[in-house]
Amino acid sequence: MSVLMRKKLLLIILSLFLPFLFPAKAFAHVLKTDGSIGAVMHTDPDDDPIAGEQTGIFFEFKDKQNKFTPAACDCTLSILQSDKEIYSQPVFQNNPQPTLDNAAAFFTFPQRDTYQVKVTGIPLSSGAFQAFTLIYDVQVTKMTTKTPQPSLLPSPAPATAVTQKPRTYTSLVYAIGGGVLTTVIAAIVVKLRKRN
């Protein structure tokens, strides 16, 4: 096998397997806006909720007019399944000192499905800020492999602390897989060199 042929073979092998070494991370940090008010929503674990396990839902609000404050808002988070409300709570309930970037809720999605997370804000006094409604679609495609909790209903965190679930080891799995794949490719290249 010629040097040129070996280089082409190596290039083909790398082009086939390189995407698996460095997979693109799908981020679900979604910005929704209504007039001058918007919010970025993040879900944890890893922007990929798992049915039967607690999901943290976090919001960071922005107001182009700088009028919106949590203290001046009757803000509600609702979770809908098939257009039916299955859970509702005040947006800032889990924060003793609410700010625009620490709104949080904790919820256990009961099953795999598409849900809507709806955030509504109504000013407590007229003209304090513009009323708003933000709706996010959340895909729950995974089911827990853990023993189900006694209740799959919402499970709020204590009002004194905002906690997050520990992160999974996805990066470690990709690193190990990449190392194994690199070793296999190197072995193939060495074997091809020995033939010539």
Question: What strand order describes the sheet that includes 103-108?
Answer: 30-34, 37-44, 54-63, 103-108
User: pLDDT tier at 61 (50, 70, 90 boundaries)?
Assistant: very high
pLDDT, tens digit (0-9, with 9 covering 90-100), for 132-166? 999 999 999 988 887 655 544 554 444 433 333 34
Given this model, what pLDDT does residue 102 score?
Answer: 87
Residue 172 CA to residue 168 CA, distance in Å, equals 9
What percent of the chain has a predicted confidence (pLDDT) above 90? 46
In this structure, are strands 142-143 and 50-51 parallel, antiparallel, or unpaired? parallel
